Amino acid sequence: SYVLTQPPSVSVAPGQTASLTCGGNNIGRQSVHWYQQKPGQAPVLVVYDDRDRPSGIPERFSGSNSGNTATLTISRVEAGDEADYYCQVWDTSSDHPVFGGGTKLTAL
């Protein structure tokens, strides 16, 4: 089955830029979706189809996808951005969705 790999944690200083990666074999050929999950809350979609943002998501959140790595970039990180972030694709071989293990973002 298809595997997505995310670093367990990323730390950045407030005001700086965070780059959260999601690795997968030829992931650049797939549509990647990203979710933010704060403690005790349900996940929220922040980027879909590699780089599109749902309404209400700040422009500070952006995405890219090429080769074997998709990236969620959060500019001007705020304390309120601290959360777990999950990437997701649809595994065409099994016709099931696959999630990465998640990255915990900490604003130092």
Site residues (vs another protein, CB under 8 A): 31, 33, 35, 42-45, 48-49, 54, 86, 88, 90, 92, 94-102
State in angstroms the smallest separation of the CB of 92 from another protein.
Answer: 7
DSSP string, 50-89: TTB--TTS-TTEEEEEETTEEEEEESS--GGG-EEEEEEE
Residue closer to another protein by CB (options 8, 76) is 8
Q: Are 6 and 84 in contact (CB under 8 A)?
A: no
Over its C-alpha atoms, the chain yields an Rg (Å, rounded) of: 13
State in angstroms the smallest separation of the CB of 99 from another protein.
Answer: 5
Residue closer to another protein by CB (options 16, 42) is 42
